[in-house]
Amino acid sequence: MESKTTYKVFRFENEVCWKSGLHGTSCAPGKPDLEISNPPEFKGEGNAWSAEEMFVGSVNACTFMTFLAYARHKSLPLVSYESDADGVLDHTEGKWRFTEITLRPHIRVKSKEDIEAARTIIEDAHADCFITHSLSLPVKIFPEIRVA
């Protein structure tokens, strides 16, 4: 007999509203509003989040949140997690698009014995990141794991 898992479908919402010039507000249900504008590269003033930063940030956040969930599940004693990310926007095959995102998580654990577990967890989190699965570009990860 065949066993089949049934999965739920999730839906995430957003609203943007124009304020003036190249400025607006980005809203998610029940969350503080986020001021957004064009980045300075594209005539914005650079004091509010750009769509490009939200995009790169969403990949960094998804990998991070997946790591936290898996670390909790495996009872990994985590001391700190910081991750630098950058995304390259390039003009290729006639279109502007992101062509690569790089994540550099710096993970601190309590003891030497936890290093390998942390490495497995960050690799799994990277492989399972929902948002990375939704992109047409490679996401590279270079984890650096040390004892605090």
Residue 114 near a second copy by CB under 8 A:
no
Radius of gyration, alpha carbons of the chain? 18
Identify any residues that bridge with 146 across adjacent strands, giving them in sequence order: 108
What span, in angstroms and rounded, lies between the C-alpha atoms of 75 and 72? Answer: 5
Residue 112 near a second copy by CB under 8 A:
no
Q: Is 139 exposed, middle or buried (0-12, 13-18, 19+ CB in 10 A)?
A: buried
Judged by CB under 8 A, which stretch of 63-71, 109-117, 118-126, 140-148 contacts a second copy? 63-71
Choosing from 1, 75, 113, 136, the residue that interacts with a second copy (CB under 8 A) is 136
CA dihedral 107, 118, 104, 86 (to 10 degrees): -110
> Closest approach of Cβ 91 to a second copy, in Å?
4
Q: Do 119 and 113 contact (CB within 8 A), yes or no?
A: no
Choosing from 74, 77, 86, 116, the residue that interacts with a second copy (CB under 8 A) is 86
Residue 117 near a second copy by CB under 8 A:
no
Judged by CB under 8 A, which stretch of 66-74, 109-117, 118-126, 140-148 contacts a second copy? 66-74
Q: Which of residues 11-30 bind a second copy (CB under 8 A)?
A: 11-18, 21-22, 24, 26, 28, 30
**Structural tokens at position 143:** 């984890």
> Closest approach of Cβ 20 to a second copy, in Å?
10
Amino acid identity of residue 65, one-letter, is: M
